Each structure stands twice: as C-alpha cells, then as structure tokens.
C-alpha cells in the first residue's frame, strides 16, 4: 500500500515489539552511550566485516545508536536520499559537504545568495586548502560560462535565506551533470517537506536541522543527505575522519520535530500568508520578499517545484531611514530579535547592509530590509503587533 509522506514520517523508525514481552514504546528510546560492547572476538570481527561491506552498524558511540539511526531514516525519507550524515550544526553540515567533495586545486561555483557561514568556510578553510570559489548570480545567468576545467562543484541554495531567490534546480542539475560536476543544494528552507532537491536532480542536500526539523529552538544540528551510494561512501570517509557526531538527546529532540513537521509547517504557512497580505497593503512597505506571492520573480519556479511555503518573509521599507527601521524592530512585542528561524516563535532581524551587498538580487542600496519569521502565534495578534510597531516608529503615516 502506498502511504502519504505524512503517515510515513510518523511511523518511520518506530521500535519493534519485544520478542518476549510483546510490547514496544511509541517513541524510539534515547540511547546514550560512548562505548559499544562486543560479546566476544567473533562478534567484534563480524561487526567490522559487516561495516566494511557498507552496512550501517555501530561499533562505537560516535557512529550513532538506535536513536540516531531512526532520525537518519526519517531524514532520508523526507529528502528522498539513500544515506544521511548528522552534524552538530547547519554550518558544520555545509563544511562537511565542501570538504568531502573538494580537493586542493579544485574550483567551486557557489550562489551569491548562499547562507553567510558558507562564505566563512570559503575564506577560512577552502582558500587555505587551495580551493577557488566563484560566486554566481542567484538567477544563474550565464552560469555555464563560469565553469572551468577544474570546476568540481555547484553549491546552490533555493530559496535563499534573506531574499528567497528561487533557482531552477533541474536546469542546474542538467548543467552540472553534462559537465561532470556535483550539485549540492542547501535545503534548509524546504527541509525535505516543502522542497526536495534530490528529486529535482541535486546530488547532495544540506539541511540546518536546527530550524524546521527541530522546530522548537532547543537544539543545534545539521544533516547531509546523499542519494547515490557511491557518493555516500565518499561522504562517509570524510565524515568519519572529521569525527562529527551529535548527542542522543538532540537526535531524540529532532526526531520529535520530524513527527510534527507537516502540521507545524502548514500553520506557519497560513500565518505567514495572512501577515504577508497585511504587509503588502501597508504604506511603509515597498516590497514583500516571498516566493509564494504572485509578484515575486521566483513565483513560477515556486509553483512548479515547491509543496507550500513556511514562516519566512522579508520586507523592504522604501524611503525609511535605518533609525526608523530600528525603532520599528524595537517596538515589536511578539517578535523576538534573533538570527535563527524555524521554531514555534516569531522572530525579527534587521539585515545589515554588508550582508546584502553580495546578493545580485538586491538593487535597493541602503533601503532597510527586515526579515520576519512568522511563528505559531495568532496571526491576528502578530498583525496587530506589526501595526502598532509601524505607528510607534512613525512609518507609513500621512
């Protein structure tokens, strides 16, 4: 029987019944251990024989136990992948993908809308390794002309995390594979539920599970999901060498988040679209950045490739000073000021001009840009809070 993804997410990794008692817990037990014991030397040898054959079987706590394996299985289901590697943060997951797939003398193409820590990975690690990086416009204009003989990788992010630029993933995949390149996609926005880059042709999907996978702002985690077993073996070699791992408690929290991901995202979408409708009509707002809105340049790609939207959107305050934008942010009472997103709560960030400068899609100079994460509070209350903050800052008044 073919079952809906929502149903499969709830049941993937469910513990089997005990052979003696014929009972089983609903949730996967949180298995905390640093050490694995072996019954005898024969068992020890058998475990390592099976590992060498590619089987996922623990021989040390760092490689994960039942809790970790259940989460890996759930994330593979979400992303449509064959193997998942859990990392301590989204940034470390991005670093793992780059370090596993790039070597000294290689060249990589990275979207100019990429998550800012990836630029830090470039400037502090990749450059020191002798890897060259070219940042390409998020609309991928003339991307083929940027490919060099030593290009090995295209690193995309769609939508972007500030301006939410959509990229044509199937077109990127065709270009990459025609040239013998690998395509990595940062899929934190879609988290495997709203967007599935591996199904659209990407080779690797990177997710900051800190965001919507966790969903409660109480864990840090990243994941790299790979669809090709050969590529997975290559990724595992670097993963193992770097000693990356996560704690069992965080794995348990993330698995809990996966179970409720569909209903949370549906409510984030309802709230965000209601808030976006208010913001589009407000005189202080010159633009709402969100690919789910009909005016957005990426709307057609969003309609074709995505399965909904989330709680993220940004607003431009055309004609406002930065001081007025700061006053607006400070006047909000239901939006916490914070960098992250994907939790149950609403958040706001006044984006620094230096963060926007590298984005080719940004042509509004010093116009203040504010990113909002619309949480699970009442949308009416959030709209009322935004309205009073605009008024307090003197924005949009005649």
Q: Give me the catalytic one of 112, 122, 139, 186.
A: 186
Nearest CA to 153 out of 87, 210, 189, 204 is that of 204
Cis peptide before 42 (omega within 30 of 0): no
> Is 62 known to be catalytic?
yes
Contact (CB, 8 A) for 232 and 161: no
Contact (CB, 8 A) for 366 and 322: yes
> Is 56 known to be catalytic?
no
Q: Give me the catalytic one of 83, 112, 115, 212.
A: 115
> Is 20 known to be catalytic?
no
Backbone φ, ψ for residue 85 (5° rounding): -120, 120
Contact (CB, 8 A) for 119 and 253: no
Q: Give me the catalytic one of 62, 120, 234, 270.
A: 62
Query: In Å, how far from its chain's centre is CA 252?
Result: 19
Q: Give me the catalytic one of 211, 227, 259, 287.
A: 211
Contact (CB, 8 A) for 134 and 107: yes
Helix axes 379-392, 248-281, angle to 10 degrees: 60
Q: Catalytic residue numbers?
A: 62, 115, 186, 211
């Amino acid at each position: 029987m073919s079952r809906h993804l929502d149903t499969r997410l709830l049941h993937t990794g469910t513990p089997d019944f005990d052979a003696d008692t014929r009972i089983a817990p609903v949730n996967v037990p949180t298995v905390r251990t640093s050490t694995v014991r072996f019954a005898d030397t024969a068992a020890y040898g058998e475990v390592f024989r099976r590992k060498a054959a590619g089987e996922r079987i623990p021989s040390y706590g760092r490689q994960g136990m039942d809790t970790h394996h259940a989460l890996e299985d759930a994330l593979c289901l979400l992303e449509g992948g064959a193997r998942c590697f859990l990392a301590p943060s989204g940034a470390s997951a991005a670093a793992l993908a780059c370090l596993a797939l790039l070597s000294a003398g290689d060249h990589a193409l990275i979207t100019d809308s990429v998550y800012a820590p990836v630029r830090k990975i470039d400037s502090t690690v990749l450059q020191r390794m002798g890897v060259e990086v070219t940042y390409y416009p998020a609309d991928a204009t003339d991307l083929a002309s940027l490919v060099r003989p030593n290009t090995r990788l295209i690193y995309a992010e769609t939508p972007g995390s500030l301006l939410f630029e959509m990229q044509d993933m199937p077109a990127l995949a065709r270009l990459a594979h025609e040239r013998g390149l690998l395509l990595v996609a940062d899929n934190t926005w879609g988290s495997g539920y709203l967007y599935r880059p591996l199904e659209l042709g990407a080779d690797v999907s990177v997710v900051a599970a800190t965001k919507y996978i966790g969903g409660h702002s109480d864990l840090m985690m990243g994941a790299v999901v790979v669809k090709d077993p050969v590529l997975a073996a290559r990724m595992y070699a670097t993963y193992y060498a770097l000693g990356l791992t996560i704690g069992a408690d965080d794995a348990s929290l993330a698995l809990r988040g996966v179970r409720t991901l569909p209903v949370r995202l549906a409510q984030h979408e309802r709230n965000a679209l209601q808030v976006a409708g208010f913001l589009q009509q407000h005189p202080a707002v010159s633009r709402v950045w969100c690919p789910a809105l009909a005016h957005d340049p990426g709307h057609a790609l969003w309609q074709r490739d995505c399965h909904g939207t989330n709680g993220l959107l940004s607003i431009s305050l055309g004609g406002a000073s930065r001081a007025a934008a700061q006053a607006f942010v400070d006047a909000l009472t239901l939006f916490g000021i914070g960098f992250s997103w994907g939790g149950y709560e609403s958040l706001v960030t006044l984006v620094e001009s230096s963060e926007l400068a590298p984005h080719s899609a940004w042509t509004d100079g010093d116009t203040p840009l504010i990113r909002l994460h619309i949480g699970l509070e009442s949308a009416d209350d959030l709209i009322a809070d935004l309205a009073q903050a605009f008024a307090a800052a003197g924005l949009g008044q005649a």
